[in-house]
Amino acid sequence: MAHRLLVRRIWTLSAKDIRCLPASPATTASSSYSTSLQSSTARVSFLSPSRTLPRSLPHTSRREVSFNVQDHEDFTERVINSQLPVLIDFHAQWCGPCKILGPRLEKAVAKQQGRVAMAKVDIDDHTDLAIEYGVSAVPTVIAMRGGDVVDHFVGIKDDDELDSFVSKIIGQ
Amino acid sequence: MAAFCRGRHRWKRTNVSCLHVLTRNLTGKYDYDLVVIGGGSGGLACSKEAAQVGQKVAVLDYVEPSLKGTKWGLGGTCVNVGCIPKKLMHQAALLGSAVKDAKKYGWQISGPVCHDWATMAEAVQNHVRSLNWGHRVQLQDKKVKYLNLKGSLVDEHTVKGLTKAGKETILTAKNIVIATGGRPKYPTNIPGAMEHGITSDDIFWLKKSPGKSLVVGASYVALECAGFLTGIGLDTTVMVRSIALRGFDQQMSGLVTDYMETYGTKFAWKCVPKRVDKLSSGALQVTWTDTHTGNEHKDTYDSVLWAVGRAPETKALGLDKLGVQLNKETGKIVVGADESTSVPNIYAFGDISEGRPELTPTAIKAGKLLARRLAGHSTELMNYDNVATTVFTPLEYGCVGLSEEEAEKRHGKDSIEVYHAFYKPLEFTVAERDASQCYLKVVCERGGDQKILGLHFTGPNAGEMTQGFALGFQCGATYSHLLQTVGIHPTCAEEVVKVNITKRSGLDATVTGC
């Protein structure tokens, strides 16, 4: 697992480097949000990662905070290249514990008011992606920051454990 | 961003195809030591075992959707449209009977208990999906390359894989194994059969209840499906052309169908469907001929399930091009004792191969042994004898060894002794259930230690019960061994070790209480 994490780190690092070549934010958007909103959010996150987002952009922050991954491209854009730390919730509809953990994760993420995002990956819809990230049992939660996997856990955690997990991700 | 993503994919694709050319030309070696076509019970077992013994393996799995459009994930027939969902739905039906019995045991159940198909189907389908995932993870863990592609043979060392969209991938392999299994047959000469009927490929994936059902066929697939449909409260009819459970002991088959008739499944014996029409109401009108009287009948059903046999999945494999010999009658691949085909380094096993039992455990074991032989780790061949099976009809039927008819044919009626007993499961007493079809028989050689040739049992949990006796059978158990074995009390299984009335004696074989 550690080896895989290392490989992931190197791969995403190079991907990120290329991604970060001077390119106007306008060319980056291919998903649902408008470019201006995204760029301003990105600027805010970069300048003050620990400050909550200005109240004038509630829609963007709520939309960004928790979302379902659509495909590999969407994952690259909204997770690997995210300016926010991201929790990736690998789940399945046939998984009972996932149904318990899901709402708890949403709660823990919502508490952070936009300082962390959550990407939900249904492993039946995105099997290759799940396999790529070494998911075997579900729920598996992987924390990513700047395209690197920084932490992960498998199985259910209670609210306090989740709050502590999320805080650690943001704090680093 | 978009430009970056596209660039990366272009690089990846070129790189991969370059690699292929490199592998084939420069070194002369193959891409893989083994390529398995088919990701079912057999294919997965074979590929995982091969990887375990150090081979570089790839497995191709692809599900052609059924006529009704049903498709499923990795794991093959057993996991998706066979054993697993069947047993779960059989259990759902058994629980229905248990609830009815419960009242007699003191449970206060107010009002009639109804069954909701959608709840059961979702739960079953979810479990199957978890198995699809489990298999995927296992392949990853065992370092087997998995490709969701439709495989076909180009030559003895080359496999072509096609995506749904038609994109091609070529793989070369030292050895190729075909384990593509079979699919249900549709009757070809009945108008409306294909347009309006479903098969076992569809029944387990229905989101809505099949309603009033007609099951055409009398194989174990037909009887098991009709069994659980009846058990969950649906109006079910089985249409049988000639006999039920062909190939199985016919006395036992009769007991199975008698029980089903007692418990509410309707049987249309010696009837053959002629046509299926869809009415304006959406219901299906089936016209059939009673071959006994010659009369024609009609009735309407919500669903028509064809369980009239299975055909091997060989059409799209390109076998004729390579000269792989098929059995003219069945269309299955002709194989040797070592699973080899008429083409060197191409092997086939499981449901696709001729003369083999269509069972998961035999496919798994054969696959593993084949993998070991191909890697040069072993010479052990698969032993297809003494395989125990169970039919999961409402009254389950477990058996190992020869049927009474087969034993008579091979040894002569005078050289065999059949010990039998009609017994009553203790649990049936309080529940006031009819146990007339709960029966067992042990077919033995008449002379010497009386080696057991076949064991047959109808009753609750027949599968669990027969497994233990299968071990004894494999060890060459005799009737004397049986007599020396002390029973566990109170069970149904103990009646097997206590059996002492012979058919020859003509005495009443009903077991009396202890």
pLDDT in tens, A29-72: 333 333 333 334 334 334 444 444 444 444 444 456 899 999 99
Evaluate if residue B13 carries a pLDDT over 90: no
Evaluate if residue B19 carries a pLDDT over 50: no
Give the rounded distance of the alpha carbon of B43 from its chain centre: 15
A151 domain residue, yes or no: yes
pLDDT tens across B40-70, in order? 999 999 999 999 999 999 999 999 999 999 9
Evaluate if residue A154 carries a pLDDT over 80: yes
A166 domain residue, yes or no: yes
Residues A39 and A72 in one domain: no
Q: Which residues of B touch A30 (CB under 8 A)?
A: 1-2
pLDDT at B512: 79
DSSP strand pairing (B168-178 vs B182-184): unpaired
- Residue B103 region by backbone torsions, left for phi larger than 0, else alpha for psi between -120 and 50, else beta: alpha
pLDDT bucket at A23, cuts 50 / 70 / 90:
very low
The ipTM estimated for the assembled molecules is 0.77
A122 domain residue, yes or no: yes
* Distant-in-sequence contacts of B22-26, Cβ < 8 A, 24+ apart: B23/B172, B24/B172
Q: Calculate mean pLDDT across residues B288-308.
A: 97
Evaluate if residue B106 carries a pLDDT over 50: yes
Of the candidates B91, B88, B92, the residue with the CA atom closest to the CA atom of residue B128: B88
B positions 114-173 inside 8 Å of A (CB): 125-127, 129-130, 132-133, 136-137, 140-141
First vs last C-alpha separation in chain B: 81
pTM: 0.85
Residues A32 and A88 in one domain: no
Evaluate if residue B231 carries a pLDDT over 80: yes
Residues A139 and A79 in one domain: yes
DSSP H/E element including B141: helix B117-141
CA dist., res. B64 & res. B79, Å (int) = 16
By the 8 A CB rule, do B488 and B495 touch? Answer: no
Would you call B149 helix, strand, or coil by DSSP? coil
Say which residue, A102 or B16, is predicted with more confidence.
A102
The DSSP line for B108-119 is ---S-----HHH
pLDDT bucket at B29, cuts 50 / 70 / 90:
confident
CA dist., res. B285 & res. B303, Å (int) = 10
B1 interfacial to chain A (CB closer than 8 Å): yes
pLDDT at B28: 57
Give the rounded distance of the alpha carbon of B311 from its chain centre: 13
Residues A24 and A84 in one domain: no
Residues A114 and A29 in one domain: no
pLDDT at A172: 55
DSSP H/E element including B391: strand B389-391
Q: Looking at B280-393, list the stretches that DSSP marks H as alpha helix, in order from N- to C-terminal side.
A: 319-322, 360-374
Would you call B308 helix, strand, or coil by DSSP? coil
pLDDT at B18: 45
Q: Calculate mean pLDDT across residues A101-120.
A: 93
Say which residue, B289 or A56, is predicted with more confidence.
B289
pLDDT tens across B396-438, in order? 999 999 999 999 999 999 999 999 999 999 999 999 999 999 9
Q: Which domain holds residue A6?
A: 2-45
Cα distances (angstroms) measured from residue B340 to each of B331, B345, B348, B349: 16, 7, 6, 9
The annotation status of B224 as a binding-site residue, yes or no, is yes
Radius of gyration of chain B (CA): 25
Average pLDDT along chain A: 74
CATH of residue A91's domain is 3.40.30.10
On the CB side of A98, CA atoms within 13 Å amount to: 19
Structural domain tally of chain A? 2
A54 domain residue, yes or no: no
Residues A110 and A145 in one domain: yes
Residues A37 and A120 in one domain: no
Residue of B9, B88, B137, B147 to mutate, testing the A interface (most A Cβ within 10 Å of its Cβ): B137
Of the candidates A133, A126, A128, the residue with the CA atom closest to the CA atom of residue A86: A133
Evaluate if residue A7 carries a pLDDT over 80: no
Residues A18 and A85 in one domain: no
Residues A72 and A138 in one domain: yes
How many Cβ atoms are within 10 Å of A55's Cβ, its own excluded?
Answer: 7
Q: Calculate mean pLDDT across residues B451-474.
A: 97
Evaluate if residue A16 carries a pLDDT over 90: no
* Distant-in-sequence contacts of B117-124, Cβ < 8 A, 24+ apart: B117/B206, B117/B208, B117/B209, B117/B210, B117/B232, B118/B207, B118/B208, B118/B209, B120/B88, B120/B89, B120/B92, B120/B232, B121/B204, B121/B205, B121/B206, B121/B207, B123/B88, B124/B85, B124/B88, B124/B89, B124/B204
Instruction: Find all residues with CB under 8 Å of B98, minimum gap 6, and list them.
Output: none
Residues A166 and A91 in one domain: yes
Q: What is the 3-state secondary structure (H, E, C) of chain A?
A: CHHHHHHHHHHHHHHHHHHCCCCCHHHCCCCCCCHHHHHHHHHHHHHCCCCCCCCCCHHHHHHHHEEECCCHHHHHHHHHCCCCCEEEEEECCCCHHHHHHHHHHHHHHHHCCCCCEEEEEECCCCHHHHHHCCCCCCCEEEEEECCEEEEEEECCCCHHHHHHHHHHHHHC
Residues A72 and A107 in one domain: yes
Evaluate if residue B195 carries a pLDDT over 80: yes
pLDDT at A171: 82
A137 domain residue, yes or no: yes
Evaluate if residue B3 carries a pLDDT over 90: no
Residue corresponding to tokens 């019970």: B41
Distance from the Cα of A32 to chain B's closest Cα (Å) equals 15
Residues A95 and A157 in one domain: yes
pLDDT at B241: 96
pLDDT tens across A134-153, in order? 999 999 999 999 999 999 99
pLDDT at B80: 98
Distance from the Cα of A141 to chain B's closest Cα (Å) equals 17
Cα distances (angstroms) measured from residue B247 to each of B147, B197, B252, B360: 37, 26, 11, 18
Q: Do B140 and A77 touch (CB under 8 A)?
A: no
Distance from the Cα of A85 to chain B's closest Cα (Å) equals 20
Helices B83-104 and B220-231, axial angle in degrees (round to 10): 40
Q: Which residues of A touch B137 (CB under 8 A)?
A: 131, 135-136
pLDDT at A63: 52
A141 domain residue, yes or no: yes
Distance from the Cα of B74 to chain A's closest Cα (Å) equals 11
A167 domain residue, yes or no: yes
- Residue B295 region by backbone torsions, left for phi larger than 0, else alpha for psi between -120 and 50, else beta: beta
Q: Which residues of A touch B207 (CB under 8 A)?
A: none
Q: Do B5 and A76 touch (CB under 8 A)?
A: yes
A57 domain residue, yes or no: no
Burial class of residue A109 (count of CB atoms within 10 Å of its CB; 0-12, 13-18, 19+): buried
**From A98, A129, A130, A135, active-site residue:** A98
The annotation status of B217 as a binding-site residue, yes or no, is yes
Q: Looking at B214-298, list the stretches that DSSP marks H as alpha helix, in order from N- to C-terminal side.
A: 220-231, 250-262
pLDDT bucket at A12, cuts 50 / 70 / 90:
very low
Q: Calculate mean pLDDT across residues B161-178.
A: 96
